[in-house]
Amino acid sequence: MSDLYLKLVNTPVGKTAAQSLGLPSPIPLKRLKRVDQPFIEGDVLMGAGQGARAIATLGNIVGASPATLHHASGLETLAESSKAGPKARPLDITGLSDTTFPALVFDASGLQKPDELRALYDFFHPTIRRLATNGRVLVIGQDPHTCRKAPQAAAQQALEGFVRAIGKEIGKKGSTANLLWIAPNAENQLDSSVRFFLSPRSAYVSGQTVRIGKASEAKATNPVAPLAGKVALVTGASRGIGAAIAETLARDGATVIGLDIPAALDALRSVTSKLKGKAFACDITDDEAPKIIADFIQKETSGVDFVIHNAGITRDKTLGNMPEHFWDMTIAVNLTAEERIDEELAARNLMRENGRIVCISSISGIAGNFGQTNYACAKSGVIGYVESMARHLKNGMTINAIAPGFIETQMTADMPFTIREAGRRMNSLSQGGQPVDVAEAIAWYCNPASAGVNGNVVRVCGQSLIGK
Ligand code: NAI
């Protein structure tokens, strides 16, 4: 769906009018144009606080891009920035002139106590105004759950507030800020996440914290087709976010089995035929659905690598006015069906080693929403399901969720005008996301190098003001 306001305020007359009326002036977000596009280009500045553990790894990852790498110098608190590796040239940040940075990357993983947080100020204070439009702030910390001492946990937890606040300050430039919390010795799991969060693929992801744990050594993948040879099942793939997921996973090399209700089969076929994928009609709430899906997978491919539980419905009514079938259907499609399908595929050994399960939650499941007790309940249940399953999966499998905010699809086009406009603007980027923004985040979860990313709920919401 088109956002006419976004187009209007980016004309000279519209920009002046919006400024004089104090209205938001969203910046058009840069998204991926070509699959072989480098994940970052231009001048990238890296910094590190005391005891930084990931700085050398970060230097290697960013050093593999065509970006010109700099490490901060000139301040004692940032001395460890020089460990960013041979490709990084020193840059005295106390006397910056006219350089603009598409990305500022800071390794805070070694901070042991709150007074060491001063390094954040020292790095970002002189540089943040030099962040380019559509820029990226990326901070690396240590997961506070793994900190032994309270001062260390306090310093590491503090990073979350810092990143969320900075995200709100830079959102008006179309820029994002995110935090990667690594477990001890999990630096070798950073590659796919650093690439994702620095790239245009994460255009609508801001204010997020991702926990990255230890996993078997992340395999180097083909950056242009990282999912080659993999098979993905995508539910609700005939339109909207599901169609974008199918297209994005296929673009990255996967073979897609698209599933949707029988009434959507023609639309589904038009999506999957372009991708050389398979279309499969099934109502996921039918009693026999898990068995029918498993039979189809067994016959067609003998197993899947990715299961993307995207199918979802809303049936909004305030609770006192809600007919019982609204409640039952919403829970069945958005929550129960996912569990039943996963159970059947696991029982019949149809999920391959290093498989990925991705569920779609919603901001509504995090914050609740008027008239959506059923939907919020189901989408919150999705989070509980993901967090619990993440502790039990074996064979290198992971499970994660995406919680979309306002995404421009048929579902949001059907909203009343005022609610739709409020939903679009109430985030740091002052605009709705595109289906591809959700799809790109799912492709990152599915990347073979994302083995350490497990049990996360990442919001694709432009840092919505609603919810945590
Ligand atoms: P959509 O309504 O455009 O697409 C949903 C798809 O699921 C449709 O193709 C539909 O036929 C299919 N589906 C529904 N019930 C099914 C069933 N019983 N069996 C098989 N397929 C079924 O929705 P949209 O906007 O693309 O949303 C996709 C997912 O993202 C949903 O889970 C939704 O709850 C979630 N979401 C969307 C947001 C948005 O802003 N669009 C915000 C938050 C979450």
Give residue-wise pLDDT tens across range 65-74.
Answer: 999 999 999 9
Over residues 222-231, the mean pLDDT reads 92
Query: Do 54 and 72 have their domain in common?
Result: yes
User: Which residue puts its alpha carbon closest to atom 3 of ligand 1?
Assistant: 240
Q: What is the 3-state secondary structure (H, E, C) of 273-312?
A: HHCCCEEEECCCCCCCHHHHHHHHHHHHCCCEEEEEECCC
**Percent of the chain clearing pLDDT 70 (strictly above):** 95
Q: Is residue 317 part of a domain?
A: yes
Question: Distance between CA atoms of 35 and 26, rounded to whole angstroms?
Answer: 26
Candidates 437, 466, 454; CA nearest to 204 is: 437
List the structure tokens of 353: 């080693």
* Mean pLDDT of the chain, nearest integer: 94
pLDDT for 416 equals 83
Q: Is 409 near ligand 1, meaning CB less than 6 Å away?
A: yes
Q: Is 14's pLDDT higher than 70?
A: no
Query: Do 237 and 379 have their domain in common?
Result: yes
**Percent of the chain clearing pLDDT 90 (strictly above):** 87
pLDDT for 217 equals 65
Which of 5, 121, 204, 375 does the annotation list as catalytic? 375
pLDDT for 136 equals 98
Q: Is 326's pLDDT higher than 60?
A: yes
Total number of domains constituting the chain: 3
Domain that holds residue 315: 231-460
Those residues with Cβ within 8 angstroms of residue 155's Cβ, 6 or more apart along the chain or in another chain: 108, 111, 112, 113, 114, 116, 117
| Confidence band for 411, pLDDT divided at 50, 70 and 90 | confident
Instruction: Tell me, in angstroms, the distance from the centre of ligand 1 to residue 242's CA.
Output: 7
Q: Is 188's pLDDT higher than 70?
A: yes
| Confidence band for 18, pLDDT divided at 50, 70 and 90 | low
Query: Do 343 and 197 have their domain in common?
Result: no
The secondary structure of 372-394 as a DSSP string is: -HHHHHHHHHHHHHHHHHHHH--
Query: Do 98 and 135 have their domain in common?
Result: yes
Q: Is 279's pLDDT higher than 70?
A: yes
Give the CATH number of the domain where residue 191 resides: 3.40.50.720
Q: Is 214's pLDDT higher than 90?
A: yes
**Side chain identity, residue 158:** A
Query: Do 436 and 343 have their domain in common?
Result: yes
Instruction: Tell me, in angstroms, the distance from the centre of ligand 1 to residue 260's CA.
Output: 10
Q: Is 220's pLDDT higher than 70?
A: no
CA 155 → CA 110, 113, 238, 450, 451, distances in Å?
Answer: 10, 5, 46, 26, 27
User: Given ligand 1 and candidates 338, 375, 383, 411, which is best to mutate, with the most ligand atoms within 8 Å of its CB?
Assistant: 411
Catalytic, 375? Answer: yes
- pTM score of the predicted model: 0.96
Those residues with Cβ within 8 angstroms of residue 58's Cβ, 6 or more apart along the chain or in another chain: 46, 84, 105, 107, 140, 190, 194
pLDDT for 23 equals 67
Query: Do 307 and 189 have their domain in common?
Result: no
Candidates 212, 103, 208, 114; CA nearest to 164 is: 208
> How confident is the model over 342-398, as pLDDT tens digits?
999 999 999 999 999 999 999 999 999 999 999 999 999 999 999 999 999 999 999
